[in-house]
Structure 1
Amino acid sequence: MPRVVALFRHPIKGFTPERLNELTIQPDGRVAGDRVLAFRFADAATPDLRDGLDYWPKSKGLALQDFPALAALRLQYDQSALRVRLSHDEKLLVDASLDADGRAQLEAVVTEYVQDTADARRLQRTGRLPLRLVGDGERSRFQDRSRGYVTVHSTASVSALGDALQLPIDDRRFRSNVVIDGIGAGEELEWTGSIRIGEVTFEAAGPIIRCLATHANPDTGVRDAPVLTTLTGAMGLAEPALGRLLLLSGVSGDVDDRSGHGGVIRVGDEVVAV
């Protein structure tokens, strides 16, 4: 029987994931505490609109796709205190709240860090500085897609990719919320209809088409694995897909749509097609 073997949420878009034993799926279909903050470029501190929903494209802020060195930072987020702690190479860089002064500290430290990496040139383009830390630290809203979604992949899919690359590949590289075991490589790409994880029922949505974020080593921030061309080359996929999008049954994915029945999913929960 397929089961959940790992759960992750990512408090700040593009930064270190938190590995947890359980995740709360909100009535809007998003993971509580996931992507509740984001560092945006100066000219993109307000959302775009897509399908009538707020949309924050990752190309307009700090994301691993263009800033792989972010993966080397270590993040701790205290959601109850609305406080962010960032470190690098075991050295504390900043520990700040989300009030105005704290946000200014976080923006300054992250800007300085990026400017001292190989990604610095990307900050020099018109309209990018100063960086702005947006989000209230509570509402989950900075996913790559306007509808949000919960993301899932299987250990078998990652293992097959690692075999093709002849490299050890970590689940964190794919930024999924849910990792499952007990199905074959790529089997999640074939799901249709309803999928129940523990007590929560989702509808299988599209496959996750991967980007350059997956090339970044989640420990070092170095691009060390040609994931995209391996998926479409050695593994023979038409698109560089790994993992699946899940939408909570009964909701649109809008952050203001509370019509679904959320719940808690836990490590060890069964995954069942219903």
Structure 2
Amino acid sequence: MPQLTAITRFPIKGLGPDSLDRIALEANKTLHMDRAHAIENGPSPFNDAAPGHVKKKHFLMLAGQAGLARLNCRYREKDGTYSVNLDGAGPITILLDNPATHTPLLDALRALLGEAIRGPLRLVHAPGQAMTDISQPQISLINAASVRDVSEKAGHTLDPLRFRGNLLIDGLAPWEEFDLIGHEIRIGGVTCRVESRIRRCVATSVDPQRGALDTDVPAALFEHYGHMDCGIYLSVLEDGEIALGDPISLA
């Protein structure tokens, strides 16, 4: 039976992963703290007085700033701290909800990314709205077998982390997850509805360990399958907790 093998969130869009053993899901919401914050790359339509979803092109992201993958990041939920270090250097630690602490991190990002910075950097947050690639409150799921299949065809082992999904499962056949669209599935004891496939961009071409472009994943997907999709979006239908090892089944 397919099982849940990884749970991952990205507290700051474009930056490093936060891996979890378990997490509580809430109906009609994204994964808690996933892309809860984003770093504005120069002026954007983000409105502090009425914060909401803004297109990803206005923020730092792997698709435009591959060097972000070189950052080693750690989020501590109990005190809201976020620590970043680069190439073994001492960590820079900020409080996500305290703008007075953000300057050292933003300065380090300017030094790392250089000309990719379009203007003043600012960490933004929209309560109740994740800064994901879509505005809908959904979570993403990746099938490990599909990643292995495209790896084989591309002639290069691809880390599933490239696809920056919230949930990684194993035990399905390659691409079988696409057959689940329109159906309800259960992850452990939580029911979710499978909404759509995820179309992939150049961000998946970034090696998550080296922070460099190395494999044109969208091109490989199109060449071998005639599409550029990998992964599916889910809507959470009820509150409940999921954990590594949970079985995946049709509801």
Gaps of at least 5 residues in structure 2 are: none
TM superposition shift of 1:30: 1.1
Contact 2:144 2:168 survives alignment (8 Å): yes
Contact 1:45 1:134 survives alignment (8 Å): no
Q: How does 1:1-274 map to 2 (within 5 A)?
A: 1-44=1-44, 46=46, 54-98=52-96, 99-115=98-114, 120=115, 122-123=116-117, 128-135=118-125, 141-191=130-180, 192-233=182-223, 235-237=224-226, 239-249=227-237, 261-274=238-251
Query: Deviations 1:79-100 (Å, cap 9, x if unpaired)?
Result: 2212121111111251122323
Contact 1:151 1:244 survives alignment (8 Å): yes
Query: Deviations 1:7-28 (Å, cap 9, x if unpaired)?
Result: 1111110111122111221233
Contact 1:210 1:241 survives alignment (8 Å): yes
Secondary structure, aligned partner of 1:44: coil
Q: Distance in 1 between matches of 2:65 and 2:42?
A: 16
TM superposition shift of 1:139: 5.1
Task: Give, as a single letter, the amino acid of the residue that structure 1 aligns with 2:162.
Answer: R
Q: CA RMSD of the aligned region, Å?
A: 1.9
Q: Distance in 2 between matches of 1:218 and 1:201?
A: 31
TM superposition shift of 1:265: 1.1
Secondary structure, aligned partner of 1:85: strand
Task: Give, as a single letter, the amino acid of the residue that structure 2 aligns with 1:82.
Answer: G
Gaps of at least 5 residues in structure 1 are: 250-260
Contact 1:3 1:182 survives alignment (8 Å): yes
Task: Give, as a single letter, the amino acid of the residue that structure 2 aligns with 1:266.
Answer: A
Q: TM-score scaled by structure 1?
A: 0.85
- Count of residue pairs the alignment pairs up: 247
Task: Give, as a single letter, the amino acid of the residue that structure 2 aligns with 1:265.
Answer: I
Contact 1:36 1:140 survives alignment (8 Å): yes
Task: Give, as a single letter, the amino acid of the residue that structure 2 aligns with 1:246.
Answer: L
Secondary structure, aligned partner of 2:52: strand
Secondary structure, aligned partner of 2:43: helix
Contact 1:30 1:150 survives alignment (8 Å): yes
Q: Distance in 2 between matches of 1:84 and 1:21?
A: 19
Task: Give, as a single letter, the amino acid of the residue that structure 2 aligns with 1:240.
Answer: M
Contact 1:29 1:262 survives alignment (8 Å): no
Secondary structure, aligned partner of 1:92: coil
Percent identity over the alignment is: 27
Task: Give, as a single letter, the amino acid of the residue that structure 2 aligns with 1:36.
Answer: A
TM superposition shift of 1:111: 1.8
Contact 1:206 1:245 survives alignment (8 Å): yes
Contact 1:33 1:79 survives alignment (8 Å): no
Q: Distance in 1 between matches of 2:63 and 2:140?
A: 17
Q: Distance in 1 between matches of 2:231 and 2:47?
A: 26
Secondary structure, aligned partner of 2:212: coil
Partner residue, 1:255: none
Contact 1:24 1:262 survives alignment (8 Å): yes
Seen in structure 2, the aligned counterparts of structure 1 residues 10 and 225 have a Cα distance that, compared at 3 Å, is same
